[in-house]
Amino acid sequence: MKAVVVGAGIAGLVAARQLGLAGWDVELLEKSPAPRPEGYMMDFFGPGVEAAERIGLYPRLAAVAYHVEAAEYVDATGHPTSSLDYDRFARLAGGKVLSLLRPDMERAALAALDDVPPGRVQVSYGASVSRVWSDEDGVRVTVGGPPDMTVAADVLVGADGIHSGVRAQVFGPEEEYLRPLGMRAAAFIVTEPLLNARFRNRFVLTDSINRMAGLYSLRSDEVATFMVYRDSTGSPGHQRSGSPRERLRREFAGLGHAIDRLLELCPEHPYDDVVAQIVMPGWQRGRTVLVGDACGAVSLLAGQGGSLAIAGAALLGDFLGPVASPGGISPALAEYERRWRPLVEEAQAAGRRTASSFLPANRAQRLLRRWIIRATHLPGIDRLVARQILGRIAK
């Protein structure tokens, strides 16, 4: 049996590995020329932890995790206004929370393809899928050339992210499924030894209104930066006019020296996209199935994208892996969706709750956030807040 997986992000890599381990031949096609270096820190907890332990990926992730002691809100002079104890957060999330840089997570999933017998999974970078279709023999995809190339398979796994082209071609245009949450987010990594030394082992977040910048010191002299701001247009990254760097410099002026310095060093094309969820009535059609952000993006603010990508892809492997003939494919895909959808929907509901209070719109809301963060130190309130943030995990 052969699968073609479109997109070598976390979901695509894990799906390819699990199918390869189950004995499938897999062609994994990724449009970027190499693993993508962009992205910020992601909290890794909940279903992804269980799945990663079960499939043997956890040690690789734990090996590249960062130790975060606190999340600290600061004013424009860099003084803390409130802070959240990370160990406490970890206990409420079931004890296992890893803080991982998105590209490190992707690299760990790529390295884990070594567990698959040689030749089973072929990974092609610089392979952009431009067309997908199916016929009675299976599925076909065209990989943009020149010259164009057609790949045939028994099943097509669309793991091509929130702006999935597989979804657009098989299920309908993006506008039908993309639910913008009224914000944009950007992420980039810069080399800045002084800021790196100043802010070690903690997330630093600006305690600002209608916009928020966050930073975290990496192991080298680098600083990972994250910026979120209100945006009602809902346009995805590639559809916004103007330079994203100039937009960020405009939006984040006046937040203090550290942020000014990061904006000075910001690359010309940082990761910059709409904060949104994908909500669809069905994730599989015939022999095509979606996984990860392509079908169930929870939004960057929920922080669980990587965890859900791993858990969903592992589950897809559980159901599709044992299938030995084309007739078994559709029932296996339906079972994957039946089992996985409720958890994704719950995480999306938690993501929407987080989004609505993520950026205070005025001083009163900012005061309320400070109060809530301080209240997390009180027994009972901590569980309540964690439940708001984490969804079912803290139940």
Ligand X SMILES: Cc1cc2nc3c(=O)[nH]c(=O)nc-3n(C[C@H](O)[C@H](O)[C@H](O)COP(=O)(O)OP(=O)(O)OC[C@H]3O[C@@H](n4cnc5c(N)ncnc54)[C@H](O)[C@@H]3O)c2cc1C
Q: Which residues contact ligand X (rule: CB under 6 A)?
A: 6-12, 29-32, 36, 38-40, 42, 102, 128-129, 159-162, 165, 187, 271, 292-294, 300, 303, 305-306, 309
By beta-carbon proximity to ligand X, the closer residue of 16 and 195 is 16
By beta-carbon proximity to ligand X, the closer residue of 83 and 164 is 164
**CA 165 to CA 255: how far, in whole Å?**
37
By beta-carbon proximity to ligand X, the closer residue of 36 and 91 is 36
By beta-carbon proximity to ligand X, the closer residue of 271 and 366 is 271
In the complex, the smallest distance separating the C-beta of residue 142 from ligand X, rounded to whole angstroms, is 10
In the complex, the smallest distance separating the C-beta of residue 184 from ligand X, rounded to whole angstroms, is 13
Nearest alpha carbon to residue 124 among 37, 35, 22: 35
By beta-carbon proximity to ligand X, the closer residue of 275 and 382 is 275
In the complex, the smallest distance separating the C-beta of residue 140 from ligand X, rounded to whole angstroms, is 14
By beta-carbon proximity to ligand X, the closer residue of 54 and 269 is 269
In the complex, the smallest distance separating the C-beta of residue 116 from ligand X, rounded to whole angstroms, is 18
In the complex, the smallest distance separating the C-beta of residue 227 from ligand X, rounded to whole angstroms, is 10
By beta-carbon proximity to ligand X, the closer residue of 49 and 162 is 162
**CA 244 to CA 113: how far, in whole Å?**
34
Our CA angle for 145, 102, 207, nearest 5°, is: 130
In the complex, the smallest distance separating the C-beta of residue 81 from ligand X, rounded to whole angstroms, is 24
Q: How far is CA 191 from CA 225, 262, 285, in A?
A: 11, 9, 45
In the complex, the smallest distance separating the C-beta of residue 12 from ligand X, rounded to whole angstroms, is 6
Q: What is the residue whose two structure tokens read 């992210």?
A: 161
By beta-carbon proximity to ligand X, the closer residue of 3 and 382 is 3
By beta-carbon proximity to ligand X, the closer residue of 9 and 180 is 9
In the complex, the smallest distance separating the C-beta of residue 226 from ligand X, rounded to whole angstroms, is 6
In the complex, the smallest distance separating the C-beta of residue 11 from ligand X, rounded to whole angstroms, is 3
Contacts of 296 (CB under 8 A, 6+ apart): 278, 280, 283, 308, 312, 340, 341, 344, 347, 348
